Amino acid sequence: MEKVSIVIPVYNEEDNLELLLAKLQALTDFEWEAIFVNDGSKDQSTEILDELAQKEARVKVVHFLKNYGQTAAMAAGFANAQYDIVVPMDADLQNDPADIVHLLAKMTKGYDVVSGWRKDRQDATWTRVWPSNLANSLISYITGVKLHDYGCTLKAYKKEVIQEIRLYGEMHRFIPAYAAWHGAKVTEIEVKHHPRIHGQTKYGLGKTFRVILDLLVVKFLMDYPTRPMHFFGLAGFYGFLLSFIFAIWAIVLKLLALRTFSSTPLPMISAIFFVVGMQLILMGLLAEMVMRNSYEGQNKTTYKIRNKVNF
Ligand code: UDP
Ligand code: MG
């Protein structure tokens, strides 16, 4: 039988935990452990989790010192998972544990990542579903990995896929994209989604903006991790180019005696672009220093080897 580590971030979910455990206990198609990561809950979740762990040996609990956010909670769960398949899931009963077996079935067809797609999503339409649809199209477009629902926590991963990935910010949702860039086979299946009955959502519209900012970071780190100067330097050159064009424009007007330097904003605009260009190039130099520092400090190579032959 397959063995699955289920990773469950928990922040103030006191009324959901027992019901969730009952649903997990009803799973019989595979062996499992459930790693609950208590992300600094301020309600009774802490005590309840300890009780559940007393009753059920397959329940494991990691208590955080304070609230670090869902991504950190998931990272801690991944780091403590002992089985070869890892399935993160929300604690609020919006994801359905009964879907895990479908994720596993898809995985046996040769996939390393099977992502859940909450096709019929039961969240606030205006503040959550629509912004999230927009974010999903944007992420799919920019990362080149087409998924309908990056934000769904319920996904199944082969352990190797997540082992090397470090998670920051709201970035747990980008794991499928990272995995695909590193050669993993990624797919998605529809999963059920239930409205939240107990407790409250921790997110609102602001989440989408944070996700889009994280996407910028991911995109940058994907394309330029070892050569930030190419990014900043290029932008800097465009700054210089614009500065030059505006300067020439101002000079031509002056030579033709159509306008004096002080009667148009052109010299001013030219100067601004010059300074911006300069700043960008200096920033590129700084980024290069930071990047080298981080690679050399950790003895990291700028490449990854699949395997070596005849050494
Ligand atoms: N969560 C967490 N830390 C946080 C916020 C949320 O561990 O700081 C957990 C929360 O308990 C739940 C999951 O992350 O299990 C998803 O949160 P929520 O249901 O509020 O998000 P939504 O489903 O509304 O996107
Ligand atoms: Mg939820």
* 97 secondary structure, DSSP code: G
Examine the pLDDT at 306 and tell me if it is beyond 80. Answer: no
36 in ligand 1 pocket by Cβ < 6 Å?
no
- How many domains is the chain built from? 2
Cα 233 to chain centroid, rounded: 27
In this prediction, residue 297 has a pLDDT band, given cuts at 50, 70 and 90, of confident
Residue nearest to atom 8 of ligand 1 (CA): 69
Q: How far is the CA of 88 from the centre of ligand 2 (A)?
A: 13
CATH code, domain with 41: 3.90.550.10
Q: Which ligand is nearest to the CA of 72?
A: 1
What is the residue-wise DSSP string for 287-309? HHHHHHHHHHHTT--SS--S---
How many whole angstroms from 230 Cα to the centroid of ligand 1? 38
Is there a single domain that holds both residue 84 and residue 18?
Answer: yes
Reported as a pLDDT band with limits 50, 70 and 90, residue 164 is: confident
pTM reported for the whole predicted model: 0.89
The region of weakest confidence among 19-23, 230-234, 296-300 is 296-300
From 66, 70, 122, give the residue whose CB has the most ligand 1 atoms within 8 Å, as the site to mutate.
70
Give tens-digit pLDDT for 33-66: 999 999 999 999 999 999 999 999 999 999 999 9
Confidence of residue 147 (pLDDT cuts 50, 70, 90): very high
Lowest mean pLDDT among 24-28, 214-218, 283-287: 214-218
Task: Identify whether residues 121 and 218 lie together within a single domain.
Answer: yes
Task: Establish if 246 belongs to a structural domain.
Answer: yes
Give the domain-ending residue among 208, 223, 238.
Answer: 223
- Measure Cα distances from 7 to 53, 58, 94, 207, 234 in Å: 14, 12, 15, 22, 43
* The domain boundary residue, chosen from 223, 251, 271: 223
Q: How would you label 124-147 residue by residue, b for 16+ Cβ within 10 Å and e otherwise?
A: eeebbeebbeebbeebeeebebeb
> Confidence band (pLDDT; 50, 70, 90) for 305?
confident
CB of 14 sitting under 6 A from ligand 1: no
pLDDT tens digits along 221-251: 888 989 999 999 999 999 999 999 999 999 9
> If we measure between CA atoms, which residue out of 145, 295, 142, 297 comes closest to residue 227?
295
Domain coverage including residue 283:
228-295
Q: So what's the pLDDT on residue 262?
A: 94
> Is 100:6 a contact under the CB 8 Å cutoff?
yes
Distance CA 98, CA 84 (A): 19
The answer to whether the CB of 70 is under 6 A from ligand 1 is yes
Q: What pLDDT sits at residue 168?
A: 86
Q: How confident is the model at residue 19 (pLDDT cuts 50, 70, 90)?
A: very high
* Structural domain contains residue 310: no
Q: 3-class DSSP state for residue 121?
A: coil
Statement to judge: residues 103 and 252 lie in one domain: no
Same domain, yes or no, for 130 and 40? yes
Q: Do 142 and 233 share a structural domain?
A: no
Could you tell me if the CB of 73 is within 6 A of ligand 1?
yes
The answer to whether residue 91 scores a pLDDT higher than 80 is yes
Q: Do both 252 and 193 map to the same domain?
A: no
Q: Looking at this protein, which amino acid is placed at residue 256?
A: L
